[in-house]
Amino acid sequence: MPVLRRILGVPLLLLGAATVVFFLIHLIPGDPVAAMLGEGASPADVTSLRKELGLDRPLHVQYAHWLKGLAHADLGKSILTRKPVTGEILRSLPATASLALAAFAAALIVSIPAGLMGALWKDRPIDQLLRALSLIGVSTPNYVSGPLLVLFFSISLGLLPVSGRDAPGSLILPAVTMGLALAALLSRMVRASVAEELNKPYMLAARARGETVWSALIRHAFRNALPPVLVVAGLQFGSLLTGAVVTETIFSWPGVGRLLVQSIQRRDYPTVQGCVLFIAFVYVVVNASVDAIAVRLDPRAAARGARS
Amino acid sequence: MKLFRQLPIPARIAAVVLFVALGAAVVSPFLGTDAATRIDLTNRLASPSTAPPLGTDELGRDVLQRLFHGATISLGVAGAAVLLSAIFGSLLGLLAGERGGFLDASVGRLVDLVLAFPGLLLAVALAAVLGPSALNTVLALSAVGWVPYARLARSEARRVGSLDFVSAARSQGATSWRILLRHLLPNVAPPLAVQATLHLAGAILAESALSFLGLGVPPPAPSWGAMLAGGRTHILDAPHVVMAPALAILLVVLGTNLLGDALVDRLDPVRRRSL
């Protein structure tokens, strides 16, 4: 039962991720404490911060301390604000969650009709146009599409705010930016998956019973084509979170991604570790859940998984 | 040339675009970086015109010059990351698949562990702690990039390793390394080459993302992602500073994807059918 094994493997993966993130700080070339405080730091400051972070203790003691903290959701304190990292992340979480959900919804709204049309009118001009658009979408990273969207919608047309989260409609541009590549990918998936179903005998039977093309498409083909698409969509949701790192930076969106980038710039490594670990945890849990749901949606997926 | 004529027309256009970009990447280091990094504050954010064809950026530097030198950095770093990932991942995967046992199990766990992180996140974290430099960017991208090669090489090595000709070689006393390099590698090379083709576009995007976030090759060296980040604050009064690197990234990635798809069609028809 590969799925069960994957779910049982989740705690192990989380432990692995925690270990990788623990060692990150030791990859800093030279003295990590000196790197955090900058060049003008006095030796006394360096010593006291080293003691505070526990970096003066043996490695295995530090590791045990780090894991013990994690068990209590304690990711240490930010060097800059002196506040607990967990709190900082939780404060940024609603912004990232709303952005990711909006981007995900935008991607589904665009990709499902586009994919259906592409499958129904396969190789006709509209399908070729949609395929060209999706190739451009997949090839356009968010740090390119974001500024271009700002240039057009905020600056030329003056319709939407350039950045921030306070003005009304401020969610639209970041969500579209983040959802664009996903929409392109999913519309390809929907198209391929539906097109495969269209050739099956049950579609002919449905048409023979007098159902219209669209009715047969939605009621039968789309239903059967949906599970694999939802699985890919679910697995991509985790990747959306990484996209948040760039998108939030472009739009000054006060989420976890921006917190991560700002902490990197300020050399606030405890916060960097916390953000990376938090995103990795969410990613692992989301992917494992999608795997579990996929089996319920489509038992064929489990059989395929067992074979491979 | 024969291959070129067999490609569909969009892929041919893509090949020409990539050829120009690669040409710029190879030639520009010989022209000296002076023009690309010379600051001229009296001529900031000049619009595209006859003198500097693409105008100047926020520090008065020639955008076209920077675009050319940026090609060297962006394509060079991405290409090096693909090469390092492919070599390391393939060898590790082949070795694991051929030897089996503890090594195989460890590689499997390591692959799972890296996959527990969203790809770009781990690269961002590594680049952040290692500090910005070309070498560190290559290392950060490769630390994530080797995984697909290892998985592919491992499963292919198992498949090919159970075939008769490998058993024959083994029964004649061939060493593990000999089997790996003489018998397994030639047979698993085509799918690995396809993987590398598909990986290149991703690597270019990842390099640009890192340099956009200020974690790539440090200034004043021009990299497309960094140019984009630098011009972003002036998008209102000088959109050309952003548009130039944005279009460069878009065209090169689009070209790589188009050409990659066409090459996949030709090199690996089986994979194509399963998509």
Greatest CA span in chain A, whole angstroms?
85
Nearest to B92 by CA among B153, B156, B145: B153
> How far off is chain B from A245, nearest CA to CA, in Å?
8
Nearest CA in chain B to A287: B116
Question: A20-34, A88-102, A133-147, A153-167 — which one is most confidently predicted on average?
Answer: A88-102
Q: Is there a contact between B225 and A143 if contact means CB atoms under 8 Å apart?
A: yes
Average pLDDT estimate for B58-79? 84
> How far off is chain A from B246, nearest CA to CA, in Å?
5
What are the residues whose beta carbons fall under 8 Å from the beta carbon of A7, sequence distance 6 or more?
A288, A291, A292
H-type alpha helices, chain A: 2-8, 10-24, 32-37, 43-53, 59-71, 85-120, 125-139, 142-149, 172-198, 201-208, 213-216, 223-250, 256-265, 269-297, 299-307
Phi-psi category of A60—alpha, beta or left, where left has phi over 0 and alpha has psi -120 to 50? alpha
Q: What is the ipTM of this complex?
A: 0.83
Question: Is the Cβ of A17 closer than 8 Å to some Cβ of chain B?
Answer: yes
Q: Report whether pLDDT(A28) > 90.
A: no
Nearest to A256 by CA among A86, A52, A96: A96
Q: Buried b vs exposed e over B226-247: b needs ≥16 C-beta within 10 Å?
A: bbbbbbbebbeebbbbbbbbbe
Query: Which of A8, A139, A173, A260 is the best mutation test for B, with the most CBs of B within 10 A?
Result: A139
Question: Is the Cβ of A192 closer than 8 Å to some Cβ of chain B?
Answer: yes
> How far off is chain A from B51, nearest CA to CA, in Å?
26
Please name the member of B112, B208, B249 whose beta carbon is closest to the beta carbon of A13: B112
Length of chain A: 308
CB under 8 Å, gap of 24 or more: what pairs does B109-115 form?
B109/A16, B111/B147, B111/B150, B111/B151, B112/A9, B112/A13, B112/A16, B113/A13, B113/A16, B113/A17, B113/A20, B114/B143, B114/B144, B114/B147, B115/B147
Its pTM stands at 0.85
CB A267, CB A204: distance < 8 Å: no
Q: Report whether pLDDT(A1) > 60.
A: no
Residue with tokens 């959109």: B239
Residue with tokens 């795997």: A291
Interface of B with A in 118-177 (CB under 8 A): 118-122, 124-126, 128-131
Q: Report whether pLDDT(B84) > 90.
A: yes
DSSP state of B29: G
Q: Report whether pLDDT(A217) > 80.
A: yes
Nearest CA in chain B to A136: B254
Please name the member of A29, A139, A246 whose beta carbon is closest to the beta carbon of B212: A246
Q: Report whether pLDDT(B275) > 60.
A: no
Cis-peptide into B220, omega within 30 deg: yes
Please name the member of A141, A261, A283 whose beta carbon is closest to the beta carbon of B117: A283
Our CA angle for A66, A72, A73, nearest 5°, is 80
- Return d(Cα B184, Cα B175) in angstroms, integer: 12
AA letter at A43: P
What are the residues whose beta carbons fall under 8 Å from the beta carbon of B38, sequence distance 6 or more?
B61, B62
Question: Is the Cβ of B238 closer than 8 Å to some Cβ of chain A?
Answer: no
CB A88, CB A78: distance < 8 Å: yes
CB B152, CB B192: distance < 8 Å: yes
Nearest to B140 by CA among B215, B71, B228: B215
Length of chain B: 275
pLDDT at res. B88:
94
Average pLDDT estimate for B62-85? 88
Interface contacts (A, B; CB < 8 Å): 117
CB B181, CB B189: distance < 8 Å: no
Nearest to A269 by CA among A126, A138, A78: A78
- Return d(Cα B275, Cα B271) in angstroms, integer: 7
Nearest CA in chain B to A266: B128
H-type alpha helices, B33-184: 34-37, 63-99, 101-115, 119-130, 134-161, 164-171, 176-178
Question: Is the Cβ of B9 closer than 8 Å to some Cβ of chain A?
Answer: no
Greatest CA span in chain B, whole angstroms?
76
List the structure tokens of B237.
């009064």
Query: Which of B109, B120, B121 is the best mutation test for A, with the most CBs of A within 10 A?
Result: B121
Question: Is the Cβ of A276 closer than 8 Å to some Cβ of chain B?
Answer: yes
More confident residue, A75 or A5: A75
Question: Is the Cβ of A143 closer than 8 Å to some Cβ of chain B?
Answer: yes
pLDDT band at B50 (very low <50, low <70, confident <90, very high): low
Please name the member of A144, A241, A272 whose beta carbon is closest to the beta carbon of B246: A144
Q: Is there a contact between A272 and B125 if contact means CB atoms under 8 Å apart?
A: yes
pLDDT at res. A6:
65
Question: A32-36, A222-226, A301-305, B251-255 — which one is most confidently predicted on average?
Answer: B251-255
Q: Report whether pLDDT(B79) > 90.
A: yes
Helices then strands, each counted (H, E), chain B: 13, 0
CB A21, CB A280: distance < 8 Å: yes
A-chain residues within 8 Å CB-CB of B201?
139
Please name the member of B116, B208, B239 whose beta carbon is closest to the beta carbon of A151: B239
CB A114, CB A130: distance < 8 Å: yes
- Return d(Cα B126, Cα A27) in angstroms, integer: 8
Nearest CA in chain A to B198: A139
Nearest CA in chain B to A277: B117
Please name the member of B118, B212, B236 whose beta carbon is closest to the beta carbon of A143: B212
Residue with tokens 């070599």: B87
CB A120, CB A207: distance < 8 Å: no
AA letter at A225: A
Question: Is the Cβ of A274 closer than 8 Å to some Cβ of chain B?
Answer: no
Averaged confidence pLDDT in chain A: 83
pLDDT band at B138 (very low <50, low <70, confident <90, very high): very high
